[in-house]
A = this chain, B = another copy of it.
Amino acid sequence: MSSNEKRFRISVDAMGGDFAPGEIVKGAIQAAREYDVEIILVGIKEELDKELSKHDIDGLPVTFVEATDRIIDGEQAAIAVMRKPNSSVALATRLVKEGKADAVISAGSTGAVMVSALQYLGPLPGIDRPIAGGPFLHFAPNTVVLDLGANVGCQPYQYVNFAVAGSVYVKCFMGIENPTVGLLNVGSEEGKGNDVSKEAYELLKKSGVNFIGNIEGMDIPAGKANVIVCDGFVGNILLKFAEGIGYAVSQWLKKELADRRPEEIDKITSKLRMMMSPATVLGGGPLWGVNGVVSVAHGNSKAEHVVGTVKQTILALESGFIDKLRSELENATEAINNKE
């Protein structure tokens, strides 16, 4: 282990996710072994003890904080988090607020993570709701799309928030300077679309982001912009449509390639599914728009996805994602106000 002045401390909701606590604990310990990071497991004592006994954590910076409760599948997120302040997700998030951890990771209900984050860390200035977004097609590896469903029925100014958040993400996580921003629309010319997209177009021009204008559906897999902004209603349908297409094409390919060896076919079709849905491969990403690093992992995360999420979380911390996001959101608001 290197002797950093300060090692990042990441609290992990050990009880959240389809394969919790087993796979979460396993992945978190593996991450502590691979990266120079301190892991704080937050969970129910007996269950964690049992899992920890399976691993050799001698000398690893893995500690444990006891939660007395957990959020159950199907609970209404907002109510559950309020009623269970000592649930693993609430407690893990509170460690960040109290300065005892630098970031938090959960593979539990996204709703519960969001509510915990808003309650204990609060939103960044100018953000109403956390933004859901990220890379969503491997065909366009340098492109992120947002919002993907957290914000439905958006006002024009929210598109600017999406553009800024996406730009900061692409800079911090992909190392691309001056990322391009496209507005997803039904035609490439200015003046296309519905009322909201027309107004959003005007605001994006003024916002200071590197706005390249409208882009269309076929431009997403082509990666025509680094950041593609849309209403969460559209983004969510697209995301699920891409998943559905990935499945349909895979099934179709199995028939088309039936003369090949089964393991070859499996290799191609699972690669294709991965091309259509990078989120499941990368592990989790940050929740955008809350005042702290909160990483959401897929509900069906296995140990390797937890390791991937820890890696993304370290990237967020090292790159100063939240501070940059805060200051660029302010800059964009100023830029728009100055030009009005």
Binds B, one of A14-22, A80-88, A267-275, A304-312: A267-275
CB-based contact A194/B152 at 8 Å: yes
Question: What are the interface flags for A184-196 relative to B under an 8 Å C-beta threshold, 1 for contact and 0 otherwise?
Answer: 1110000001110
CB-based contact A152/B186 at 8 Å: yes
CB-based contact B272/A244 at 8 Å: no
Q: How many residues of A contact B (CB 8 A)?
A: 46
CB-based contact B149/A194 at 8 Å: no
On whether A244 and B256 interact (CB within 8 A), knowing A152-B193, A194-B233, A234-B234, the answer reads no
* Bound Cα distance A242, B276 (Å): 12
Q: Which of A195, A197, A218, A222 has the most CB of B within 10 A?
A: A218
Which of B197, B220, B236, B253 makes the CB contact (< 8 A) with A217?
Answer: B236
Distance in Å: Cβ of A39 to nearest Cβ of chain B: 34
Cβ of A51 within 8 Å of any chain B Cβ, yes or no, is: no
Question: What are the interface flags for A16-31 relative to B under an 8 Å C-beta threshold, 1 for contact and 0 otherwise?
Answer: 0000000000000000
Distance in Å: Cβ of A241 to nearest Cβ of chain B: 3
* Bound Cα distance A243, B216 (Å): 11
Cβ of A174 within 8 Å of any chain B Cβ, yes or no, is: no
Cβ of A126 within 8 Å of any chain B Cβ, yes or no, is: no
Distance in Å: Cβ of A136 to nearest Cβ of chain B: 11
Cβ of A65 within 8 Å of any chain B Cβ, yes or no, is: no
On whether A249 and B272 interact (CB within 8 A), knowing A149-B186, A233-B193, A238-B238, the answer reads yes
Tell me the nearest residue of chain B to A256, going by C-beta. B268
CB-based contact A242/B244 at 8 Å: no
Distance in Å: Cβ of A306 to nearest Cβ of chain B: 25
Q: Chain B contacts of A221 at CB under 8 A?
A: 241, 244-245, 247-248
Distance in Å: Cβ of A67 to nearest Cβ of chain B: 29
Which of B238, B247, B257, B275 makes the CB contact (< 8 A) with A241?
Answer: B238
Question: What are the interface flags for A27-69 relative to B under an 8 Å C-beta threshold, 1 for contact and 0 otherwise?
Answer: 0000000000000000000000000000000000000000000
On whether A245 and B245 interact (CB within 8 A), knowing A195-B153, A236-B217, A237-B238, the answer reads yes
Distance in Å: Cβ of A145 to nearest Cβ of chain B: 11
A binding-site residues for B, Cβ under 8 Å? 137, 139, 149, 152-153, 184-186, 193-195, 197, 216-222, 230-234, 236-245, 247-249, 252-253, 256-257, 268, 271-272, 275-276
Q: Would you list the 9 A-B pairs with minimal beta carbon distance, nearest first?
A: A217-B240, A218-B244, A217-B241, A153-B194, A221-B248, A139-B248, A221-B244, A217-B237, A186-B236
7 A-B pairs whose Cβ atoms sit less than 8 Å apart in the complex: A139-B249, A186-B236, A194-B233, A218-B240, A221-B241, A249-B249, A256-B271
Q: A139-B252, A186-B233 are in contact. List 10 more A-B contacts (CB 8 A).
A: A186-B232, A216-B240, A217-B238, A217-B240, A220-B241, A221-B248, A222-B248, A230-B237, A234-B234, A252-B275
